Amino acid sequence: MNTVITSKEEILKTSRKLIRQQGWSAINIRSVAAACGVSVGSIYNYFDSKTALVCATVESVWCEVFQRSEDNVVFQDTEACIAWMYGRMEYGCRQYPGFFTLHSLVFMQEDKSDGKRRMQQTWQHILDGLCSVLKQDTRIRADAFTEQFTAERFANVLFSLLLSALLRQDYDPTAVLEIVRRTLY
């Protein structure tokens, strides 16, 4: 076997490829090492366990799926942002069938606390992005938000709808966009 050292990013890229080709169960130290053409020890140089590898892979999938758009208009307009997010969810489900439903169930096990933490960080990043868009959107009525109904609370509602759509594999943002229009504009 080739023992050429590879990079952490190459290992994660290969892991994502394995998920696309063979599904979630394909991710383990030996299969990833074989796919990378390196020794098992090379993988352990970057990840101290299968759990660490899986957690990092999941995080990298989330990052790929919700990689920031080059089009900054998407992040200045709430409707454009939501449409973009639903499009990215559809892309994620095409690239990684079953990923969104399976990985969250795996992380609910006790030995996956690092994975849960990473998933929460990724979700918080998305939630913070939604808040930022809501606060920058110049089309939103000045009186849309109050002390009780804040941009943060509405972002939580939108994020909950997004997670629900992920689980249902429903990538049509029409209903959510209507909620935004009726609530904010």
pLDDT in tens, 27-58: 999 999 999 999 999 999 999 999 899 888 98
Where is pLDDT greater, at 2 or 165? 165
pLDDT digits (tens, 9 = 90+) for 20-29: 899 888 899 9
Going by pLDDT thresholds of 50, 70 and 90, the confidence category of residue 147 is very high
CA-closest candidate to residue 45, choices 6, 81, 14, 73: 6
Q: Is the pLDDT of residue 110 over 50?
A: no
Compute, in degrees rounded to 10, the torsion defined by CA atoms 4, 31, 98, 102.
-110
Q: What is the pLDDT of residues 149-167, one digit of tens each?
A: 999 999 999 999 998 898 8
Written out in words, the top-level CATH class of the domain with range 8-48 is mainly alpha
Amino acid letter for position 99: F
Q: How confident is the model at residue 68 (pLDDT cuts 50, 70, 90)?
A: confident
Helices (H), the chain: 8-22, 29-36, 40-44, 50-65, 78-95, 99-106, 113-136, 151-168, 174-184
**What is the Cα 154 distance to its own chain's centre?**
20
- The pair of three-digit structure tokens given for residue 83, joined into one six-digit string: 């449409």
| In the chain, domain spans | 8-48, 60-184
Q: How confident is the model at residue 91 (pLDDT cuts 50, 70, 90)?
A: very high
Sorted by sequence, the CB contacts under 8 Å of residue 100 that are 6+ apart come out as 89, 92, 93, 166, 167
Tokens of 59: 């995080």
Residue 184 near residue 78, CB atoms below 8 Å = yes
Q: For 91-105, what is the mean pLDDT?
A: 77
d(CA 168, CA 183): 24
Q: How sure is the predictor about 3, in pLDDT bands with cuts at 50, 70 and 90? A: very low
Nearest to 126 by CA among 84, 168, 97, 93: 84
